[in-house]
Amino acid sequence: MNQPSAYATFKTKGEFVYRTSAYIQWGTSSESLGSCLLLNPGSSTLYRERPAPHHATMGETTLDPTMRQLVKLTEGIYSAKAAQGTLNGRLHIYNLFSLQHPTAKEAIGLLEDLLQKGETALDEHITRSHELVKHPWMLLGWGCMAKTSRAITSLKERWLQEIAAAGVPTFGKPCATGKNYYHPCPQLHAMRELILRDLIALHEQVCGTVRG
């Protein structure tokens, strides 16, 4: 069985930890299997010590619940290869902002505070189109937020501009407002299999059925 592993780069700035990159690896290939854009990093941690202040550390991480759900999604999209144990490549995980915090509402409040103090800037959280162009697709899934902040609105706009410039096909399950997308890993466990089926079907609508 081809068991996936997760890798990420973390850096500390002041008392806060930022996860600046992350991917889930099957096999040994560096080729992109796809990507996703979520809200902010959750609870995954390095197997070794946290990075020293103002330094970045890259290494293997634990798989948090969202990553485990993304494994199921990717293996559902590439079901034939997953069943054969031949899935080979990386699913890249992006976030609207890289500040790590398990609670979305508190994370957004912290981000706004850090932006106001000049301790971070919006540009630090955006990945450019020349990097995104390598992906065959991107899942949009930052969550259905009843209220949003100016910072989050700006981040969404800038991310979507870069994704459009890269020409990457996108899909996601729209929220009732039509402006946001359901997170792929709902807090209610009973909803997780349902949204997986919806997302795999949406991927098929946008990208077609994956062969082989």
Res 168: pLDDT: 98
DSSP state letter for 129: H
Sketch the domain layout of the chain as residue ranges: 5-205
Residue 178: which region, alpha, beta or left (left: phi > 0; alpha: psi -120 to 50)? Answer: left
Using one digit for the tens of pLDDT, what is the confidence trace for 27-42? Answer: 999 999 999 999 999 7
Res 1: pLDDT: 59
Is the pLDDT reported for residue 25 higher than 60?
Answer: yes
Q: Measuring CA to CA, how many Å separate 31 from each of 23, 28, 52?
A: 11, 9, 30
Following CA atoms 67, 73, 78, 82 in sequence, which dihedral angle do they give, to the nearest 10 degrees? 60
Using one digit for the tens of pLDDT, what is the confidence trace for 50-106? Answer: 555 566 788 898 898 999 999 999 999 999 999 999 999 999 999 999 999 888 888
